[in-house]
Amino acid sequence: MRTPKYLRKFFFKWNTREKSSRISLFTAVTMLYGMLDNIDRFGNEYDTKLAIWWRTFPSSVYSMFNYALHITDTNAIIKMGFFIRDLHHQIEQLYQKQINDDHKQPFVVYKGQGLSITDFEKFLKAGLISFNNLLFTSKNKEVFLGYAEAALTKTNMVSILLQMSIDPSVSSAPFACIRKVSCFNTEEEIVLSMHTGLRVDGIILHQYGCTTP
């Protein structure tokens, strides 16, 4: 389920002077959901330059971010709009720095996950797939192959391994390597901005236990 367009526009209109109160509101709603892990630390230490770090750091912020976007909790999404805006801006800044040095040539990244049967059928029919969350990928297929295989054990889920070809000369959505700003700075993750759309060029089905090409 995608975030409504009016909310996406709303994220980028806040004045930075309002950020302190926005952080307080976000921490309050996170605590209301019973997510307390490191939330006080977030309230005391958060800075716009640490947006990606907090998104990758295992904490209530990470959990609340994924939960709110997954169920499209409008109230929670509005409360964390400043955080979504900061994430988007940091990815854009990294993109501008890296595009001429690190990402001159087309490259391939992978993302493994499970989709509900309903969403998978929509995916097949439309020939397009879009994510309302940040899309974390890797150039190393093995990193996400395990995530795809894990979905095989869940009821009414389809295991998929996305192989995405990215051509920097034509890409419209910003993307960036986040190793230097991530909590896990040993991993070569490529993150694609929210609402990145992917065109499906082909689908290969595999049985359990087979190797994905």
The mean pLDDT of the chain is: 80
So what's the pLDDT on residue 191? 93
pLDDT in tens, 139-159: 888 888 888 888 778 888 888
Lowest average pLDDT, out of 8-12, 34-38, 190-194, goes to 8-12
Domain spans of the chain, in order of start: 5-98, 107-199
pLDDT reported for residue 120: 81
User: Among 146, 170, 140, 159, which residue's Cα sits nearest to residue 203?
Assistant: 159
Distance CA 174, CA 54 (A): 19
CATH architecture of 107-199: Alpha-Beta Barrel (3.20)
Look at residue 6 and tell me whether its pLDDT is greater than 50. Answer: no
* DSSP run (H or E) holding 59: none
